[in-house]
Amino acid sequence: MDDINFAVLGTGGIGRRALDYSTKKDSLTPVAACDRNGVAVDHDGLDVDELLAATEGNIASDGGAVAVKQSGQQKGVAASTQAQPTETPIDDIIAESDTIDAVLIALPNLEHDFIPRVADRFAEADYEGVLVDVLKRSRVIGMLDDRAEMLEDSGITFVCGAGATPGFLTGAAALAAQSFVEIEEVEIWWGVGLKSGYEDNRGTVREDIAHLDGYDIETARDLSDAEIEAIIEEHDGRIEFNDMEHADDVLLERAGICDAEDVTVGGILDVRSDEKPTTTTVSVTGRTFDGEVGTNTFQLDDNTSMEANVNGPALGYLKAGVRRNRAGEYGVFGPADLMPGF
């Protein structure tokens, strides 16, 4: 595959690691990145090390990277020597998008229609390329499917839910289902240890808290950092989630694997240890063509970090999206529709 020029919207935990990870991937060249206060563009390729140094400490309660003051010095993308301050970062990236093959949307999803509205803006600007997100919420997939015709007409290939779960593990479930003619149940169970990366992943923690009893996306969005810390303390730093509204369910249904109601997602988040509190597994139970009932299980090694399991697939699906786009295939794709590139 020819080199792929790509941009990253958002330089919080996922965005920063995607930029770093891309320097270890063949054929990927990051040419643009932004947070809410700054934008960096270099069509020959960003100096990722310098940009990461400038954005170190991009801690935001909403999970996005913002310019903050530390010792009187501005931090964030705007502090990079490659960048300039802006009040319209997404529009600035769109203005440069003629030479950008793909865009990774690594922005907080604390408003259900935010990422779909970002897609609208690229389509309205006649962008022809790939958009990739790592969103989690099931209900957002329908909003993107409602835009499928618009995206097709625009020449956009949109790969949605392309992280770990949904994403990597959704694709694993689709493969594990191939032994069966009827799926009875899909169970996704994840474990994440975040001690070393907690400061860079506050937005992820906030989105996960929205799945706890008594919370939803609106109440989680309004929590202060102190309130989030109190919830973490209440659970001794180790929070268990059950029956999460993760988009794996609708993504597997739209791919024809099973009914959404047959999919359950849960896991354990430990913000006080780097070690995974439980092994990440995908279990698919079904009936074979000869009437036998069995369970296929896919398991991630405990040494693979959340960062590796989110950003690796995100960039792999980005590559797959570019292949589809260059072949003239446009519209909305899920992680069960594609095999990520390496």
263 vs 138: CA distance, rounded Å: 12
Strand partners, 39: 34, 84
Does residue 275 have an active-site annotation?
A: no
Q: Which of 87, 96, 124, 136 is catalytic?
A: 136
Q: Which of 75, 152, 199, 211 is catalytic?
A: 211
For 184-200, the DSSP string reads EEEEEEEEEE-TTTSGG
Beta carbons within 8 Å of 101's beta carbon, 6+ residues apart: 4, 5, 6, 129, 130, 322, 325
Q: Which of 128, 152, 182, 207 is catalytic?
A: 207
Three-state DSSP class for 328?
coil
Please give the C-alpha separations between residue 246 and each of 102, 207, 252, in angstroms, as whole numbers. Answer: 24, 11, 11
194 vs 17: CA distance, rounded Å: 14
Whether 313 and 163 have beta carbons less than 8 Å apart is answered as yes
Nearest by Cα to 106 from 36, 171, 57, 26: 36
User: Could you tell me the sign of the dihedral formed by the alpha carbons of 312, 313, 316, 321, in that order?
Assistant: negative
Active site positions, annotated:
136, 207, 211
